[in-house]
Chain A
Amino acid sequence: MNHRDGSSPAPSVGAALVVLSALLILTATTVGLAFLELPPAVHVGLALTIAAIKAALVAAVFMHLLREAPATRLVALMAAVLLAIFMLMVTVDVRHLGG
């Protein structure tokens, strides 16, 4: 092929297959957990954690964030942190209002 296989940012076919399998297994897990008899807070916590792991896998490998420059990773991180702050403050306010 043409020059520099290393110039591709995307994962190799093998690595992509591994990530895909992990994503499918995690999907089956989160569906299965939804049927268990657990307190609501635990349900939310588990579902959110698994979704976050899946998102991180997609971002790190499929979106090759791990191979990108520090500035690119920083921009992605900032967006995630900012959303967390936004959500936290609004939730804190809503909860403290009561009623």
Chain B
Amino acid sequence: MRSWLTTTDHKRIALLYLGTMTLFFTLGGLLATVIRVELATAASDLVTAETYNRLFTLHGVIMVFFFLIPSIPTFLGNYLLPLMLGAPDLAFPRLNLASWYVFVAGGLLTLTAMVAGGLDTGWTFYTPYSTTFSDSHVVLAVLGVFLAGLSSVFTGINFIVTIHRLRAPGLTWLRLPLFVWSHYATSLILVLATPVLAMTLLLVAIERGLSIGIFDPEAGGSPLLFQHFFWFYSHPAVYIMILPGMGVVSELIPCFSRNRPFGYEFVAASSLAIAVFGFLVWGHHMFVAGQSYFASVVFSFLSFSVAVPSGVKVFSWLGTMHRGSVWLTTPMIYALGFVALFTIGGGTGLALAMLAVDVHLHDTYFVVAHFHTIMVGGMLMAYLGGLHFWWPKISGRLYSERWGRIAAYTLFIGFLLTFLPQFVLGTQGLPRRTASYPPEYQFLQALSSAGATILAVGYVLPGIYLLASLVRGRPAGDNPWGATGLEWRTSSPPPPHNFNKAPVVTEDPYDYPRAPQPTFIGAGDV
């Protein structure tokens, strides 16, 4: 136990993150369950409107700041980056451990706020409600999120330095796995955007204590200023969540298509382009908030341009499968689910980027469905796909392929059933964040709640069979999928310094035509 809490081994720290984030995900999921049960009927009969406000706020805060943002970087990124680079550890191992402690401290503060009575501002902490009117535990919660942000900054710095300075001999930039490229872009956003949120949240806390008037027009400030600050971080944060997921999918699809990624250089560059454009579109969250028309037009235009690099990635995935031989294993099902849902989520995002359409759809269930399709459908599918892909490497064991596929399909169906009705609800004009609603929306809401039940089953299943594999699973071998990449050249699980002999890279990445044969024989097929 003590050796785990004082470890500087990136692999162990990654597992500490996995454990912590699974707890937060479960908590956020339970909150969502209560929300969906409440929404199954039109009246607000299970919880009061005040409690409902607290439920969706905590669901958002916990899921966004304590699961979605850290999930892939701090778990898979932490575990895999040094392995993929052929390095013995991250550049600053003690900073890495410190980032976990800061993360846990932030989580505990937020949980304290929750136990003490919760907060009701929505995860966006909009002023003036958060600074002046809300009587819930805003200060505790924002300090918790502040610490989570600090932890992200530490992780980002560590990744940037590691990718720049600890690559194995021969591992040039254009030989880096696409997972590494996407984590590099993510780290840039983590380091350069998170401080803006950190300071903004501190200013909210200061406003609550001193009422200086930073966000108060009566005293010369502006609530719009808060929204500028908040979205300057929180829009790039969307790419913090989705870019690592794209990185995972860019590993899975070449491996299970047994093919080189189509347009490797373009996919790598598109990660950086998404990071850059992601910084320039924050104003599209403020179209109806009183922002100037001039700024709205500029932000609307820039929001369309961010779709270009995302489109490059989708076409690359399709192109990779097009000439490959697709092998439909559990991770690949998740990867395909990601591509489908990301395309739906991205397309509906363009609808929202249109100024006139946004005026109609703003703050409706359409927005809820849009970002859940990107975040849950996209990001979480990629997370689970990555977890299933690298689980044999991390644990050294194979899980039940049959149950893996059942869970993946369950999740996909459950997801569509939950969120497709919400798109329709939104276009019909149902506003979000209300505990009760007019009865004519009852059917679609009930359908969504039913879908959420299936979704919940899809989340519980992997927890069961992955844990069971630790006890009953067959040994995985070093490279069950016949994948390229340095992480597959060491043992499963890897030794403390990752490699018994420091690797040297002499070939291009993703040389699948010449990759080793898979040793994995799944549920009756090859």
Contacts and interface: CB of A to CB of B under 8 A. Distances in A.
A79 B191 CA distance: 9
Interface stretch (A10-18, A58-66, A83-91): A83-91
- Pick the most buried of A89, A93, A96: most chain B CB atoms within 10 A of its CB: A93
B293 interface: yes
Contacts of B164: 71
A38 interface: no
Which of B160, B292, B298: most chain A CB closer than 10 A? Answer: B292
Contacts of A79: 192
B133 interface: no
Interface string B274-300: 000001100100000011111100100
A67 B225 CA distance: 38
B467 to A, nearest CB: 41
B25 interface: no
Contacts of A96: 292-295
Interface in A41-99: 71, 75, 78-79, 82, 85-86, 89-90, 92-94, 96-97
The size class of the interface chain A forms with chain B is 10 to 19
Contacts of B175: none
B188 interface: yes
Contacts of A90: 225, 228
B192 A93 contact: no
Contact of A89 (B188, B283, B293): B283
B279 A93 contact: no
Contact of B160 (A75, A82, A89, A97): A75
A19 B90 CA distance: 37
Given A71-B164, A75-B160, A82-B279, A89 B295 contact: yes
A93 B224 CA distance: 10
Interface of A: 71, 75, 78-79, 82, 85-86, 89-90, 92-94, 96-97
Interface of B: 160, 164, 188, 192, 196, 222, 224-225, 228, 232, 279-280, 283, 290-295, 298
* Among all A-B residue pairs, the 4 with the closest Cβ atoms: A96-B292, A93-B295, A96-B294, A97-B292
Given A78-B192, A92-B295, A93-B228, 6 more contacts: A71-B164, A79-B192, A82-B279, A89-B295, A90-B228, A92-B294
